[in-house]
């Protein structure tokens, strides 16, 4: 009888697609249709985001920290009264849902391993990056921040910063 299971208990870390730069790397652990599971590492001081994909490439995210600590940030760029919400996330926090209309990013307080499930494929052409590093650095007295060139060139967004529970 032919088995339809190519490999039972396939380990997602066996042959992931890995992308990266000097700040860390991203591993695409699983991708099928609109479902994507990714894991990224970031060195202490790395700032990623804030990122959001426009329609029709909207992307809900479910995130968690596997090791280390981050400040996680979200804002709704379309809300003129919007604030940048932040909260610290550690492995004890467990999974957190980031709705598709929110621009999202994080700052690595320590070296960090971050894992996220996306309901929606990566679409670089539909991605907006918002530059908030200066605002956050001042509000939270963050030290040196390492940003990608893409994120340095993001759309500047100056708004109040508030802690979420
Ligand atoms: C995220 C991602 C990036 N890439 C490529 C694009 C680029 O060449 C390289 C690095 O991309 P980035 O610098 O945008 O990776 P990164 O800063 O890790 O992007 C992530 O940031 C956090 C805050 C999020 O919310 C995620 O949704 C995602 O946007 O990897 C993919 O091919 N697929 C992907 O799913």
The 10s digit of each residue's pLDDT in 73-90 is 999 999 999 999 999 999
Could you check whether the bond before residue 56 is cis, i.e. omega within 30 degrees of 0?
yes
Nearest to 118, CA basis, from 51, 54, 37: 37
Alpha-carbon dihedral sign for residues 37, 148, 99, 143:
positive
Q: What is the pLDDT of residue 149?
A: 95
Domain ranges in the chain?
17-163
The residues assigned a catalytic role are 51, 116
CA distance 29 to 6: 17
pTM of the model: 0.93
Average pLDDT for residues 50-56, to the nearest whole number? 97
Q: Please tell me the class of the 17-163 domain.
A: mainly beta
Could you tell me the distance, in angstroms and rounded to a whole number, from the CA of residue 38 to the centre of ligand 1?
Answer: 10
Residues written for the chain: 165
Q: Residue whose CA is closest, atom 5 of ligand 1?
A: 19
Cα-to-centroid distance, 127 and ligand 1 (Å): 10
Q: Which atom of ligand 1 is nearest to the CA of 151?
A: 13
What confidence score (pLDDT) does residue 155 get?
A: 97
> Looking at the predicted structure, is the pLDDT value of residue 163 above 60?
yes
- Closest ligand 1 atom to Cα of 40: 18
Nearest CA to ligand 1 atom 1: 122
Compute, in angstroms, the gap from residue 27 CA to the centroid of ligand 1: 10
**Ligand 1 pocket check: which of 20, 25, 26 to mutate, most ligand atoms within 8 Å of Cβ?**
26
More confident residue, 130 or 5: 130
Pairing of strands 35-42, 96-98: unpaired
Q: Which atom belonging to ligand 1 lies closest to the Cα atom of 122?
A: 35
């Amino acid at each position: 009888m032919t088995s339809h299971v190519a490999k039972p208990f396939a380990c997602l870390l066996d042959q992931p697609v890995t992308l990266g730069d000097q700040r860390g790397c991203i591993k695409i652990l699983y991708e099928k249709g609109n479902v994507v599971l990714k894991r990224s590492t970031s060195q202490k001081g790395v700032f990623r985001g804030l990122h959001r994909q426009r329609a029709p490439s909207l992307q809900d995210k479910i995130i968690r920290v596997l090791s280390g600590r981050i400040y996680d940030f979200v804002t709704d760029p379309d809300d003129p009264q919007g604030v940048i919400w932040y909260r610290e996330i550690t492995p004890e926090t467990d999974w957190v849902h980031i709705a598709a209309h929110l621009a999202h990013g994080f700052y690595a307080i320590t070296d960090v391993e971050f894992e996220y499930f996306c309901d929606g494929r990566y679409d670089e052409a539909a991605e907006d990056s918002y530059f908030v590093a200066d605002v956050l650095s001042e509000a939270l007295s963050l030290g040196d921040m390492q940003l990608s060139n893409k994120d340095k060139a993001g759309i500047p967004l100056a708004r109040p910063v508030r802690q979420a529970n």
